[in-house]
Amino acid sequence: MNFDSLQNWISNYERPFLVAGPCSAENEEQLHTIATQLATQKVDLFRAGIWKPRTRPGSFEGVGVKGIQWLGNIKRDFGFRVTCEVANAFHVETCLANGIDVLWIGARTSVNPFTVQEIAEAIRGTGIPVMIKNPVSPDINLWQGAIERIVTSGSEKVIAIHRGFSSFEKSKYRNQPMWEIPIELKRRIPAIPMICDPSHICGNRTGLQTVAQKAMDLNFDGLMIETHHEPDQALSDRQQQVTPSRLKELVDSLILRHATSDNELFNISLEELRELIDKQDSELIKLLKDRMDLIERIGEFKRENNITILQPERWNEIVTSRTDWASEIDLSAEFILRVFQQVHQESIRKQMEVFELKEENGKM
Ligand code: PEP
Ligand code: MN
């Protein structure tokens, strides 16, 4: 689909476009205290969830509709633009009726095309900006699909939020960043503004700076960071929220790099290095083609001699030797393993093709 209508409306803001505020609105005083502390620093959008999608029942599920008025008061008293999470048409209507400036669709909602479509219908014709978090599962098409549904409903001001992906494996992250997914989304939809939510990626305070810096180095447009005046007392996500003063330190210590340079010498040197890379990539592709031709010959040979395509000992030997060779020359063994898994998968596919083709010809 065509994304020509998309506007990078946050490019007018000084980078990073910053969304801050608590995970949840808890009471009016809490929101007011946080807003007072944030009012002295650069915050472009004030966030607070009033309907909270909690993983298990029984935990704090948000204050509901009464919180919308509190957010309206924050907007009136501090001049912040305000944003709230929506997960159905009723939430959208409530936000629209109460002057909420920006909506966001959470990770547990963007995973469901029915719900995203319901939200898309509810915002049709309103022009309200919508931020769309990646779905909990690492499915780029689902994320792209959610964006397409919202853009199709006429919304030009859409932002993608990268908040990491759920996984069964234990790791230092609450949600795996899998940076390759937002990078691929940006390749598919270059016009989409992209912000990173280090809070939900890390699930703790200690990793935030590193993840936020990484997002800046990958040229993300902004950050969403959960902020609470007393994080340890928060009713949701207390381990990951930071105080407004810690937020300021974090943002002030970010190193902001440029996407391009007008230094001619730098541009010429970069161009030369890229030409070298182009040459090597072209050789790499020719080598892979030569390897695949050999695979075809092996496939024919196996078939003629009634030998199976897969021989686990040989595959095992390839894995061991190739990762050893890589380690010897200081190349990541893990990376080479991933490369050879792909190469091996293609080799098997190719040999199956050889087997099937010969069998079909044999029948004729
Ligand atoms: C949130 O931002 O508080 C939230 C619920 O996020 P996510 O949808 O990323 O889990
Ligand atoms: Mn949260």
**Closest ligand relative to 85 C-alpha:** 1
Span 239-255, pLDDT tens digits: 999 999 999 999 999 99
Q: What is the DSSP letter of 243?
A: -
Q: Is 23 in the pocket of ligand 1 (CB under 6 A)?
A: yes
- CA pair distance 8, 10, nearest whole angstrom: 6
DSSP per-residue string spanning 219-281? T-SEEEEEB-SSGGG-SS-TTT-B-HHHHHHHHHTPPP--SS---HHHHHHHHHHHHHHHHHH
Which of 163, 227, 236, 241 best tests ligand 1's pocket when mutated (most atoms within 8 Å of CB)? 163
Q: Whose CA is nearest to atom 2 of ligand 1?
A: 23
Q: Which residues are paired to 85 by β-bridges?
A: 104
Q: Whose CA is nearest to atom 1 of ligand 1?
A: 23
**Closest ligand relative to 203 C-alpha:** 2
Say if residue 363's pLDDT is above 60: no
Span 158-182, pLDDT tens digits: 999 999 999 988 899 999 999 999 9
Question: 10 Å Cβ neighbour count for 239?
Answer: 14
| Residue in this structure with the two tokens 């029948």, named with its chain if needed | 363
Span 97-125, pLDDT tens digits: 999 999 999 999 999 999 999 999 999 99
Span 199-227, pLDDT tens digits: 999 999 999 999 999 999 999 999 999 99
Average pLDDT over residues 275-304: 97
Taking the whole predicted model, whether its pTM rises above 0.85 is answered as yes
Taking only Cα atoms into account, the Rg of the chain, rounded to an integer number of angstroms, comes to 25
